[in-house]
Structure 1
Amino acid sequence: MDELLALVDINLHDIGVIVTNCSVFSPTPSMTSMIINKYKLPVDVKSFNLAGMGCSAGLLALDLAKRVLLAHPNKYALVLSTENLTRSLYYGNQRSMLVTNCLFRVGGSAVLLSNKWKDRKISKYKIIHTSRSQMGAIDMCYRSVYQEEDCKGTIGVSLSKDLMQSAGLALQHNMKLLGPKILPFSELFLYILNGFMMKISPNSKIKPYIPNFKLACDNICIHAGGKAVVRAMELALNLPFELSEPSHMTLYRFGNLSSASVWYELAYEESKARVKKGNRVWQIGLGSGFKCCSSYLKALKDIDLRSSSQCWADCISELPVQLPSDEGGHH
């Protein structure tokens, strides 16, 4: 947040909304209160501290901040997404719980939102749409990422074999919410026609039509939940490596950064100078619950952070690296 506030020229008393999220760490006072105290924010700031909401909480927090700003004009909103794994390190020997020790890492991101018209000239992106899908009513999805005790009473987070299926269901529902808002008419027509044909011929071998979301996006940031997650998303959306590269490289360099991962991925694209004015960016967050959250952004200017990126500057020139064949054989 220090780095963010050093880049912008704002009066801290104009910050009207602050949203923080950290899934497995919930201190007292809250992280929101810590930030308010550190920066001496105004007493009427609308503060929200999200805990236990998994890796999709970064985009969920963005959605919340956007909605609160709509009701409070002429204000700024700060969104801080992070994770603190130290308190939840698993010390047992159950394999399904040891995965989180190997995969997750600590990271953080800070985003400043504005609903002031004058800030349009200096803003990097405009939020076009956000969508949220919650599959918690389905037991399989609810228990796919689950904190519990092992047979010896040691607490850990268990990843079930139903995780990929749960992610697929959440993504499918989220695409149904977002698709009508962002897809071109031609794709919507084909999807509706396919559904109609399947309905009138239920016993036919007609396969469900998956719209081509590549036509609606120039940059895609898929939550770097693991190589299997990213690979499954590639297959589901029929993505070339160029579009999934930010997710693969974030996982390679930083691991699973939980709710902050989609912002590291966007910073990767910016550091590669691949975000141009008018580009449409789709961020996809997947997390426990099971949830899928999306944000659809429009770039308001060309962005080139090759010489100034805080997190990628030391390695961006060496990426992408060649991936092992079990990740799809891409280069």
Structure 2
Amino acid sequence: MELSMLLSAILLLYSFLLLWKLYEQWRNQNCYILDYVCFKPSDDRKLDTEICGDIVLGNKNLSEKEHKFILKVIVGSGIGEETYGPRNIISGRGEEAPLLADGISEMDECFNATLDELFVKSGISPADIKVLIVNVSMISPAPSLSARIINRYKMRKDIKVYNLSGMGCSASLISIDIVRNIFKSHPKMLAVVVTSESIGPNWYSGNDKSMILANCLFRSGGCSILLTNNPDLKHRAKFRLRCLIRTHLGSNDDAYGCAMQMEDEADRLGFRLGKGLPKAATKAFFENLKELAPKVLPLRELLRYVASGLLSKKGGATAPVNFKAGIDHFCLHTGGSAVIEGVGRSLMLSQNDLEPASMTLHRFGNTSASSLWYVLGYMEAKERLKMGNRVLMISFGAGFKCNSCLWEVVKDLDDRNVWEACIDGYPPQKLANPYMEKYGWINDQ
């Protein structure tokens, strides 16, 4: 009898410990953002109308027709004149062979500024960071950019480090996905994701129109993000990750080749944006949405869509999916005004929904993988993000890729962040286009 009771007690204790372990694993499955800091370069790096015109007209490899083409692209881009560029281009060295030092200096400015502020704001020590992921697509020096950060902040010897390159504008969500997967098997971790893009050493000095476009659209920027799965820190968090979907069309030759770093006919290195890009982006976008919809939409919306599909087989029209039924805010990649408007039409979004992305494009431009975080910062600075709200991020990238993720706001947010000095002026009654005022005559030719 005593032996039976002892065995029962041991079995009960074992069951309790097993349940406790499962509970602890469940608690650590969450991925929280504690804070994030976007980079605001110094004013001497601003690309106003005059500087942009001087850079374009100063390229001796371009004909008058090609000068007009570039200026026309800038006029219609939706980009304002307070965006930022790399120092070597502003100083007029764009046609010279780029220096590795230019690229590293450009990255150091961003990394050091955002990480310094992030550690101060959060009160977290660099020595406490157990995961570091750095994504910069167009430069990969040795030692790596992640190693430079580890060296500067004297981070721990057992830190898990990932240095991503070539991932394009989708890179920051890929980094978040890596963090999420590490969190699943390692409890109470702190991770930092650093995202930026190297513009200076990758400036295209030739005359191929498909490669000139990158010069017109991309701007300097970056962001550092602090994440954790430690349930003891969740009261300090801003966002909780609900789901993340990655779509990759690299097996398709046309999608693979529509956005590619390569040499032109004169062996000048640049980044080519092909005519197949819109088609590849549309395909990747809808493939991603098909997987995303069941994970983020309420059951009633899914049933409505299924019912609509059944009715369409009898001659009726299929009603589009209403993503606003399960999402409060849309954080769209600022690839350009056409990209923002195109995604907006597909998701049936209002101008108010598109405002954060459009204003970010105007103020900071397309900063590649960090663009999403400037858009998120705009929403926060405008005090739109309230506890329980759901925020959808959508990004595109070479490969060709479309990545999306859903964040839940875990407390009311009102940090004015990188937008502090200008947020009260957005959105203006009329969005000024200084490039139109100076170069608008090009559209009449």
C-alpha deviation, 1:324, in angstroms: 7.8
Name the TM-score, length of structure 1 as normaliser. 0.92
Aligned position for 1:288: 398
Distance 1:154 1:207 in 2: 50
Q: Equivalent residue for 1:192?
A: 306
Aligned length: 318
Match of 1:257 in 2: 367
Between the aligned partners of 1:27 and 1:208, the Cα distance in structure 2 is 51
Q: Give the Cα separation in 2 of the matches to 1:265 and 1:293.
A: 16
Secondary structure of the structure 2 residue equivalent to 1:110: strand
Work out whether 1:312 is the aligned partner of 2:419: yes
Please give the residue correspondences for 1:1-331 in structure 2 after superposition, counting only pairs within 5 Å.
Answer: 1-196=115-310, 201=313, 207-306=317-416, 309=417, 311-321=418-428, 322-323=430-431
Shift of 1:36: 1.1
Q: Do the aligned partners of residues 85 and 180 (structure 1) sit closer, same or farther apart at CA in structure 2, a change above 3 Å counting?
A: same
Give ranges in structure 2 of 5+ residues lacking alignment.
1-114, 434-445
How far has the Cα of 1:323 moved from its partner? Answer: 4.3
Instruction: Give the whole-Å Cα distance in 1 for the aligned partners of 2:191 and 2:333.
Output: 23
- One-letter amino acid of the counterpart of residue 318, structure 1: G
Match of 1:329 in 2: none
The alignment partner of 1:193 has SS state of: helix
Question: What's the Cα RMSD here?
Answer: 1.6
Once the two structures are superposed, residues 161-212 of structure 1 have per-residue CA deviations (whole angstroms, 9 ceiling, x without a partner) of 22122111111111111111110112211333344556xx4xx765554311
2:396 aligned counterpart, secondary structure = strand
Check the 8 A contact 1:17/1:69 in 2, yes or no.
Answer: no
AA partner of residue 206 (structure 2):
G
SS at match of 2:168: coil
Q: Hey, what's the Cα distance between the residues in 2 that align with 1:324 and 1:131?
A: 36
Contact 2:311 2:317 in 1 (8 A): no
Give me the whole-angstrom Cα distance separating, in 1, the residues matched to 2:317 and 2:206: 45
Any conservation in 1 of the 2:119–2:125 contact (CA below 8 Å)?
no
Runs of 4+ aligned residues of structure 1 deviating over 3 Å after TM superposition are: 193-198, 204-209
Q: Is the 8 A contact 2:219 2:366 kept in 1?
A: yes
Partner SS state of residue 188, structure 1: helix
Q: Which has the higher helix share?
A: 2
Structure with greater strand percent: 1
Query: Cα deviations across residues 257-296 of structure 1 (Å, max 9, x unaligned)?
Result: 0000000000000111111111101111111111111111
Work out the percentage of aligned pairs sharing the same amino acid.
40
Structure 2 SS opposite 1:157: strand
Query: Tell me, what secondary structure is at the counterpart of 1:100?
Result: helix
Q: Deviations over 1:208-253 (max 9, x none)?
A: 5431111111111100001111110011111001111111111111
Matching residue's letter, 2:345: L
Residues 303 and 97 of structure 1, relative CA distance in 2, 3 Å threshold: same
Q: Which amino acid aligns with 2:335?
A: G
CA distance in 2, matches of 1:70, 1:35: 25
Q: Distance in 2 between matches of 1:137 and 1:193?
A: 34
Q: Which whole-Å CA distance do the structure 1 matches of 2:271 and 2:317 have between them?
A: 37
State the SS of the aligned residue for 2:207: coil
1:164 and 1:11 map into 2 onto residues whose CA distance is 43
Instruction: Report if aligned partners of 1:69, 1:77 keep a CA contact under 8 Å in 2.
Output: no
Secondary structure at the residue paired with 1:268?
A: helix
- Flag structure 1 segments of 5+ consecutive residues without an equivalent: 326-331
Q: 1:51-110, CA deviations, whole angstroms, 9 ceiling, x for partnerless residues?
A: 000001011111111111221111101001111111110000111111111110111101
